Amino acid sequence: MSKNRRNYGKMPLTKGIEMASVYSVKECGHRARHIVLSPENKMITGEFLRIIDMKDQFAVHDVPVPNKMMMFGPPGTGKTLTAFHLAHQLELPLVTVRLDALIHAHLGETGSNVRRIFEYARIEPCVLFMDEFDAVARTRDNNDEVKEMARVVNTLLQCLDEFPEHCIFIAATNLETELDNAIWRRFDTKMVYSNPAAELRLEYIRRLCGDFPSEPGLQEWASEKMEGCSYADLEQIILKAKRKAIIDNIPLSRLLIDLSIQEYRPYHLIAAQG
């Protein structure tokens, strides 16, 4: 474990339970350094940060500042990365909840774990981040399998309502339609993520290639070739191609990108093949 990251278990409120990892402001900045946001999400995050920066003026007008953000969209599109980015911008540590540790075989325990983690965030200034939020915030309507889960959702609702303005809560999910309606409307800020369209794909490929020696026109070609890929796919494919280039001591080429796509097998291509 890096020295920047501590386990929740070692913190004052934990009572020995390891439910989260904490990332320092510096580590958050490092992780999010290549982030590419869509113009809409850039606007939303920019406004969110600006409002928090202007808190005092909002207090004068008795307008609450936003502090609960929900991010949804397919895998590998930058939801978790945005949490790192925001924590860095806010100069707060990021506390990411480990769901495997939070969800207990006895759901009563899960409820108290939820309370404990929110309690921690109230006391230690941080950005609290819950990934795969659907695991704890699933709709209560058709949740027959585990009636008890409805209680966890109720606990979560209470925690969200009591969450003070100076704390920031961020949740992310791929399954937004399965979230409980009451939970959904507790979030004042929502951000939609998707696989990058042509322009953002090219921007990200340019960042990934940096000044690595490449055939002329490679980045534009690669961007068209990798239509339908997520950011995470693009990163993995370009890294694979770079490794091949380094081994053979040659520039990045169309051939290396093609080989890397075949080896990496992006999900949308596999799905298309049936």
Ligand X SMILES: Nc1ncnc2c1ncn2[C@@H]1O[C@H](COP(=O)(O)OP(=O)(O)OP(=O)(O)O)[C@@H](O)[C@H]1O
Residue number, 48 or 72, with CB nearest to Mg ion: 72
Rounded to whole angstroms, the Cα distance separating 231 from 237 reads 10
CB of 126 to ligand X, least distance (A): 19
86 forms part of the interface with ligand X (CB under 6 A): no
Cβ proximity to Mg ion, 17 vs 83, nearer residue: 83
Beta-carbon contacts of residue 196 (< 8 Å; ≥ 6 apart): 36, 38, 77, 203, 204, 229, 230, 231, 234
> Nearest distance from residue 81's CB to ligand X, in Å?
3
Q: Which of 8, 118, 163, 231 binds ligand X (CB under 6 A)?
A: 231
Q: Minimal distance in Å, beta carbon 95 to Mg ion?
A: 15
Q: Is residue 115 classed exposed, middle or buried when 0-12, 13-18 and 19+ CB atoms within 10 A define those classes?
A: middle
Distance CA 57, CA 254 (A): 54
Find the helix or strand (DSSP H, E) in which 151 lies.
helix 148-162
- 34 contributes a contact to ligand X by CB under 6 A: yes
Cβ-closest position to ligand X: 78
Q: Of 30-38, 61-69, 146-154, 181-189, which segment contacts ligand X by CB under 6 A? A: 30-38
Q: Which bin fits 210, alpha (ψ -120 to 50), beta or left (φ > 0)? A: left
Partner in contact with 134, chosen from ligand X, Mg ion, none, beta carbon below 5 to 8 Å by kind: none
In this structure, the chain runs to a length of 274
CB atoms closer than 10 angstroms to residue 200: 18
Instruction: Based on the shown chain and the rule CB under 6 A, indicate whether residue 27 belongs to the binding site for ligand X.
Output: no
Taking CB under 6 A as the rule, does residue 203 contact ligand X?
no
**What's CA 255's distance to the chain center, in Å?**
33
- Binder among 20, 35, 229, 257 for ligand X (CB under 6 A): 35
Stretch that binds ligand X, among 16-24, 72-80, 92-100, 162-170 (CB under 6 A): 72-80
Q: Could you tell me which residues come within 8 angstroms of residue 119 by beta carbon, excluding any fewer than 6 positions away?
A: 13
x-marked contacts with ligand X along 115-134 as a string, rule CB under 6 A: ----------------x---
CA distance 85 to 32: 5
State the minimum distance, in angstroms, from the CB of residue 92 to ligand X: 18
Report residue 38 as tokens.
């869509």
Which residues of this chain interact with Mg ion, rule CB under 5 A?
79-80, 131
Where on the chain is the footprint of ligand X (CB under 6 A)?
Answer: 34-36, 75-81, 131, 172, 174, 193, 204, 231-232, 235
